[in-house]
Structure 1
Amino acid sequence: MSPYVLLAAAIAAEVTGTVSLKYAEGFTRLLPSAVVVVGYGTAFYLLAQVLKAGLPVGVVYAIWSAIGVALVAVIGAVFLGERMNFTMVVGLVLIIGGVVLLELGVGK
Structure 2
Amino acid sequence: MAWLYLIIGGLFEVGFTIFLKYSENFSRLWPSVGFVICIASSFLLLNKAVTMGLPIGTAYAIWTGIGAAGATIAGIILFKEPAAFWRLFFLFMLIFSIVGLKVVSK
1:42-77 deviation per Cα after TM superposition (whole angstroms, max 9, x unaligned):
100110000000011111111111121111111111
* 5+ long unaligned stretches in structure 2: none
Tell me how many residue pairs correspond in the alignment.
106
Q: Does the 8 Å contact 1:59/1:99 carry over to 2?
A: no
Could you tell me how far apart the structure 2 residues matched to 1:100 and 1:39 are?
23
2:61 alignment partner in structure 1: 62
1:16-62 deviation per Cα after TM superposition (whole angstroms, max 9, x unaligned):
11101111011111110111111101100110000000011111111
2:12 alignment partner in structure 1: 13
Identity %: 33
Greater RCO structure (CA 8 Å; 6+ sep): 2
TM-score, normalisation: structure 2: 0.90
* 5+ long unaligned stretches in structure 1: none
Q: Does the 8 Å contact 2:19/2:32 carry over to 1?
A: yes
1:87 alignment partner in structure 2: 86
Calculate the aligned-residue CA RMSD, in Å. Answer: 1.4
TM-score, normalisation: structure 1: 0.89
Moved more, 91-100 or 56-65: 91-100
Could you tell me how far apart the structure 1 residues matched to 2:55 and 2:29 are?
36
Q: How does 1:3-82 map to 2 (within 5 A)?
A: 3-82=2-81
Moved more, 93-102 or 36-45: 93-102
2:105 alignment partner in structure 1: 106
Alpha carbons of structure 1 residues 8 and 103: separation in structure 2 relative to 1, 3 Å: closer
Secondary structure in structure 1 of the residue aligned to 2:53? coil
